[in-house]
Structure 1
Amino acid sequence: MDKFVELTGVSKHFDTKKGRFQALSDVNLSIARGEFVSLIGHSGCGKSTVLNLIAGLLEANAGGLICNGREIDGPGPERAVVFQNHSLLPWMTCFGNVYLAVERVFAGQEGKAQLRERTAAALQMVGLDHAMHKHPNEISGGMKQRVGIARALAMEPKVLLMDEPFGALDALTRAHLQDELLRIVGATQSTVVMVTHDVDEAVLLSDRIVMMTNGPAATVGDIVQVDLARPRDRLVLANDARYHAYRSAVLEFLYQRQQRPAA
């Protein structure tokens, strides 16, 4: 396997008022170029911590992280992140928020007209061409999240990191953007790492599903290889026995082998 992203013996702790919290312990994971990997597990299992380590937003306390043959020592434009919240600049319009990222990545390669076209196309892709000149306080929470998704996709990153990107969206918009993400990833061959709580989403989108053990000191518990042909059609998969077998395997891990922690 082409090890495009690699985590070796990664551990991460946080020092809190109550003492040291060991979030991750000895995480080992290799991700191939062009692979779509989902991280799934109960709340507090360190999924987002893994994602932030790959993004370079956190530094591991032990172990090493490599992306495209280089050590991850901070954020970089080759790794775009879509967070749970929209993380938009409130003084900029939707267009301005996306254009800022596009300009950072493609300035010097494309003229201003091309950068504007790229920005407008990204907003149109997520159904926000009618709202591109509105500010974040003028649109709904779901629409803000769609701007964040457009911003990341417009950068054409080598690695797309997504932290429950569709969680704030209604079911129909969520399904539409899942399908659009499949199409875009198929065209760009981007490597994707996505955190999700949705088992069906993980099976639909992923090549592999990485299941995390419960924290503290969470680690990789098991990995499901999803051998479903691409492109994928959700209506066809609804009657596919293999789809349901993968779904059952993830559910069995989450709800039998990893009992939900007591509240």
Structure 2
Amino acid sequence: MNVLEVSGLSIRDKKKDELLVKDSSFLVGKGTCLAIAGESGSGKSLSCRALMRLNPSGVCVTGTILYKGEDITAISKEAMRKKRGKDIYMIMQNGMTAFDPSSVIGVHLKQAAAQHMGWSAAETERTLHRALESVLLKNPGEVMNQYPHQLSGGMLQRVMIALALVLEPELIIADEPTTALDAITQDEVINELSRLRERIGCSMIFVSHDLGLVRKIADELLVMKDGEIVERGTAETVFCSPKQEYTRLLLSARQVLSDHFMNIMEVR
């Protein structure tokens, strides 16, 4: 069973009359992780925002997006708002932009839980505290009383993962969730995302230009270039036997960086 079926997705900038994403089609199976890789500007994040219906008004999206058999491009804005968070959850690239900077973190978490879960205030508080502790955030009460700028990028990503634990969505879209993080924190966040999948049995779309991270988490892999899907397959197949020259270039660039890092560490 597929949780998501995307067919003929095209995204156009109406002002510039420029086609940004061209006729993309892909599936996300129940409980699986589909990674979308490619360099900056390849259309990865635009595609994710289209799935959430969050692209700006100057962007025209065409094609079919079936979530559990329902075409979410055809439903009302109100119906789509209800699906965001509880059914389809997005972990943003920059945690700082995901929260209202004028409110403490707890306000955002409690509002999201109240909108989708209908719990009492006491039950909401208990559940949020447990979720924050489960992603290794100590002193959850203190975390909830801090403003976004008072938390590190890694902590903000963990807060978003904790909220996903609470809402238990069917599909999580993680759009470059480790871009602003150091290497050690990146690994910690990837491990938390893997544990999240195991705990709630969700499907995931993981977007990244870092193929090392992709290999750790993905079952299936799409490679995008200039708004088009140029390669697809199981993650292992694409990594071991890439068909396209562009994919081979991406893999070789990653290997050069990895070798350089190892050389530096050996010198030290």
| TM-score w.r.t. length of structure 2 | 0.78
Kindly indicate whether the alpha-carbon contact (under 8 Å) linking 2:154 and 2:189 is maintained by their aligned counterparts in 1. Answer: no
Quick check: 1:98 aligned with 2:109? yes
Change (3 A) 1:222 1:258: same
Counterparts of 2:53 and 2:113, CA distance in 1: 20
Change (3 A) 1:129 1:53: same
Residue 198 (structure 1) aligned to one of 207, 210, 216: 210
Quick check: 1:114 aligned with 2:123? yes
Q: Which amino acid aligns with 2:170?
A: K
Change (3 A) 1:172 1:60: same
Change (3 A) 1:122 1:166: farther
Counterparts of 1:119 and 1:196, CA distance in 2: 28
Change (3 A) 1:173 1:250: farther
Query: Aligned residue pairs: how many?
Result: 236
Q: Which amino acid aligns with 2:180?
A: A
Residue 18 (structure 2) aligned to one of 7, 16, 21: 21
Aligned equivalent of 1:63: 63
Aligned equivalent of 2:3: 4
1:195 counterpart SS class: strand
| Shift, 1:226, TM fit | 3.3
Q: Which amino acid aligns with 1:7?
A: V
| Shift, 1:248, TM fit | 7.1
| Shift, 1:254, TM fit | 3.1
Superposed, which structure 2 residues align to 1:63-82 within 5 Å?
Answer: 63-73=63-73, 74-75=80-81, 76=83, 77-82=86-91
Kindly indicate whether the alpha-carbon contact (under 8 Å) linking 2:9 and 2:61 is maintained by their aligned counterparts in 1. Answer: yes
Change (3 A) 1:257 1:95: closer
Change (3 A) 1:141 1:189: closer
Aligned equivalent of 1:231: none
Quick check: 1:152 aligned with 2:131? no
Q: Which amino acid aligns with 2:247?
A: L
Question: Unaligned regions of 5+ residues in structure 1, if any?
Answer: 228-241
Counterparts of 2:130 and 2:185, CA distance in 1: 18
Counterparts of 1:129 and 1:52, CA distance in 2: 32
Aligned equivalent of 1:210: 222
Whichever structure has more helix as a proportion of its residues is: 2
Kindly indicate whether the alpha-carbon contact (under 8 Å) linking 1:98 and 1:150 is maintained by their aligned counterparts in 2. Answer: no
Quick check: 1:222 aligned with 2:215? no
Residue-by-residue CA offset, 1:167-211 (whole Å, 9 max, x unaligned): 222322221221122122022110111111111111110111111
Kindly indicate whether the alpha-carbon contact (under 8 Å) linking 1:118 and 1:154 is maintained by their aligned counterparts in 2. Answer: yes
| Shift, 1:11, TM fit | 0.8
Kindly indicate whether the alpha-carbon contact (under 8 Å) linking 2:10 and 2:23 is maintained by their aligned counterparts in 1. Answer: yes
Deviates more, 1:200-209 or 1:82-91: 82-91
Aligned equivalent of 2:186: 174
Counterparts of 2:197 and 2:92, CA distance in 1: 18
Change (3 A) 1:251 1:62: closer
Residue-by-residue CA offset, 1:199-247 (whole Å, 9 max, x unaligned): 11111101111111x22xx2221113136xxxxxxxxxxxxxx8xx826
Q: Which amino acid aligns with 1:186?
A: E
Counterparts of 2:185 and 2:252, CA distance in 1: 31
Q: Which amino acid aligns with 1:190?
A: C
2:14 counterpart SS class: strand
Aligned equivalent of 1:254: 247
Kindly indicate whether the alpha-carbon contact (under 8 Å) linking 1:203 and 1:209 is maintained by their aligned counterparts in 2. Answer: no
Deviates more, 1:21-30 or 1:67-76: 67-76
Question: Unaligned regions of 5+ residues in structure 2, if any?
Answer: 74-79, 254-268
Residue-by-residue CA offset, 1:87-113 (whole Å, 9 max, x unaligned): 111232222222221222211xx4333
